[in-house]
Amino acid sequence: MLYVTTGQGVDEGHVNIPTPLAPSFMAVNRKTGKMVWEGVEPSPNVLHGTWSNPAYGEIEGKGQVYFPGGDGWLYAYDALTGELVWKFDLNPKDSKWILGGSGTRNNIISTPVFYKNRVYLGVGQDPEHGEAGGHFYAIDATMKGDVTDKATVWHVGGDDFHRTMSTAAIHDGLLYIADLSGFVYCFDVETGKLHWKYDTFAAIWGSTFVADGKV
């Protein structure tokens, strides 16, 4: 199976969604090219665009595919059937989307990382929208339904973590993630305890990578 995000989003006016019922996500038979299932849940509520990538994990032997929606929610689908297993809002309930970056509701640009029954993911915006507070979550992937209020294993945000485009790297029990404000963070992957952070004094648009004992 091939899992694809469609890029569902607004038109050149940055406000209207031309096709609000078009799929945001698709599963395609990789041999025939035929669509097997589609996900439309976030499509009518896309903030700006659908810019992230899917990830895959297995819970008790059953495959799940994790699609970050253009509405700021993370969606977990049964990998074979497309049944929605759970969803998680990565922004506070009182957050507001304001075009241009001055709002508190953020997009998802990073790619989810599945590790030991958890999904790790942060939120951000187009870097041209500027720096501001963001959020990074460790989410329990074993639950069902709207798990926003019950699946957070640990979270960092506000003044302690900013908007991010970076995908996390995990190695030897430590998680490394960068934000748009130029900081690289090292967290305990299980607890979220901060071990260290490093200021690069420049915006970071890329992701972290661990090799040979270095980040």
pLDDT cut 90: percent of the chain above it: 97
**What pLDDT sits at residue 118?**
99
Measured between alpha carbons, how far is 189 from 149 in angstroms, rounded to an integer?
20
Chain centroid to Cα 138, Å, comes to 11
Measured between alpha carbons, how far is 197 from 109 in angstroms, rounded to an integer?
22
**What pLDDT sits at residue 122?**
98
**What pLDDT sits at residue 152?**
99
Q: Which of 84-88, 112-116, 129-133, 138-142 has the lowest mean pLDDT?
A: 129-133
Break the chain into its structural domains and give their ranges.
Answer: 2-199
**What pLDDT sits at residue 188?**
99
**What pLDDT sits at residue 189?**
99
In sequence order, what are the residues at sequence separation of 6 or more whose Cβ sits closer than 8 angstroms to the Cβ of residue 6?
22, 23, 24, 25, 26, 50
According to the CATH classification, is domain 2-199 in 3.40.190.10? Answer: no
* Residue 18: Cβ within 10 Å count: 11
Measured between alpha carbons, how far is 89 from 69 in angstroms, rounded to an integer?
10
Predicted confidence (pLDDT) per residue in 64-121, tens digit: 999 999 999 999 999 999 999 999 999 999 999 999 999 999 999 999 999 999 999 9
**What pLDDT sits at residue 114?**
99
- Let me know: does 142 contact 129? Beta carbons within 8 Å: no
